[in-house]
A = this chain, B = another copy of it.
Amino acid sequence: MFEARLVLEAVKELITEANFEVSGGGITLQAMDSSHVSLVALSLRSDGFEHFRADRSFSMGMNLNNMAKMLKCAANDDVITMKAEENSDVVTFLFESAGQGRVSEFELKLMDITSENLGIPDTEYSATVSMPSTEFQRITKDLGSIGDTVEISVTKDGVKFSTNGDIGSANVICRQNLNVEKQEEQTVIDMHEPVSLTFALRYLTSFTKATALSPSVVIKLSKELPVVVEYKVADFGYVRYYLAPKIEDEEMEEQ
């Protein structure tokens, strides 16, 4: 339940409506943000649910803000059940309090949404950075108060985030750091070749709405390819964000 809300919070700033694809294997969702710049992909495997049954594969178009409104009506320790009948135009959320003194039934109207499922090829990335998700959130927020874009550069020594703005400039360097007790507090840099790409900060900042989902974030970079920013959902899924690099940056690099 808790995770259902966190997942929604993680994606509803970027996308307002989306098709949830349900099958025996679980639930997936893929959608571009309204400005068609970034892509969100969500996957939740069926074995992560206490109980999961899907007799056939189908798609449910939902307004994510309305879905979030209804999920907010569940108390934290309620048992949540989501039910959808074949050919129904609603999905039902059932919230039962411990002891079942209160039973709430919320029906959300479904929508027809034209979806455009993009195949995302599996790629070998030039550099993969794993770092604490709160640190990545803080850096995008801090740099966002100075400039509009961020250059992310990975060398074997560390990852550098740089920005420029009217009031000045900023550089944050995070070094590889394996000497911490918890694995999720480590900064791990896995680099095949150095890479330096520039991105719009406001999208990266939106991606960090997923910070509550996972203590660490994985960032994958390759020249001319969209960056992948990935947050695990417990041990049964993920939210991934894709964002194309700024062309200007490419040009600057070629000079």
Name A175-189 residues within 8 Å CB distance of B.
175, 177, 179, 187
| Chain B residues, Cβ within 8 Å of A103 | 172-173, 175
Is B175 in contact with A73, judged by CB distance below 8 angstroms? no
Q: Which residues of chain B have C-beta atoms less than 8 A from A187's C-beta?
A: 101
Find A104's partner among B104, B172, B179 (CB 8 Å cutoff).
Answer: B172
- From A4-12, A105-113, A205-213, A218-226, the one touching the partner chain is A105-113
One of B72, B75, B106, B167 near A108 (C-beta < 8 A): B167
- Interfacial residues of chain A within 201-255, with CB under 8 A of chain B in the complex: none
- Set of chain B residues within 8 Å of A69, measured between Cβ atoms: 145-146, 167
Tell whether A106 pairs with B175 under 8 Å between CB atoms, given A145-B69, A187-B101.
no
Q: Which residues of B contact A169 (CB under 8 A)?
A: 106-107
Q: For A135, what are the chain B residues with a Cβ–Cβ distance below 8 Å? A: 102
Query: Across the two chains, which residue of chain B brings its CB closest to A105?
Result: B171
Check if A35 is an interface residue, CB within 8 A of chain B.
Answer: no
CB-based nearest B residue for A95: B172
Known pairs A69-B145, A142-B72; A175 contacts B107 (CB<8 A): no
- A100 sits at the interface (CB 8 A): yes
Chain A 56-86, CB-CB to B under 8 Å as 1, else 0, gives 0000000100100110110100000000000
A101: contacting residue among B72, B104, B174, CB under 8 A? B174
Please indicate the chain B residues that have their CB under 8 angstroms from the CB of A170 in the complex.
70, 73, 104-107
Provided the pairs A72-B145, A73-B142 are in contact, do residues A167 and B104 lie with their beta carbons within 8 angstroms? no
Residues of chain B within 8 A of A121, CB atoms compared: none
Instruction: State in angstroms the CA–CA spacing of A108 and B145 once bound together.
Output: 12
A106 & B168 in contact (Cβ 8 Å cutoff)? yes
Complex Cα distance, B108 from A108, in Å, reads 50
Q: Is A129 an interface residue (CB 8 A)?
A: no
Q: Mark A116-146, 1 if CB is under 8 A from B, else 0.
A: 0000000000000000000100100010011
> Is A90 part of the contact surface with B, judged by Cβ < 8 Å?
yes
Question: What is the bound-complex CA distance between A70 and B145, given in angstroms?
Answer: 8
Give chain A's interface residues, CB within 8 Å of chain B: 63, 66, 69-70, 72-73, 75, 90, 99-109, 135, 138, 142, 145-146, 167-175, 177, 179, 187
The 8 closest A-B CB pairs, nearest first, are A73-B142, A66-B167, A101-B177, A108-B168, A104-B172, A107-B168, A105-B171, A106-B170
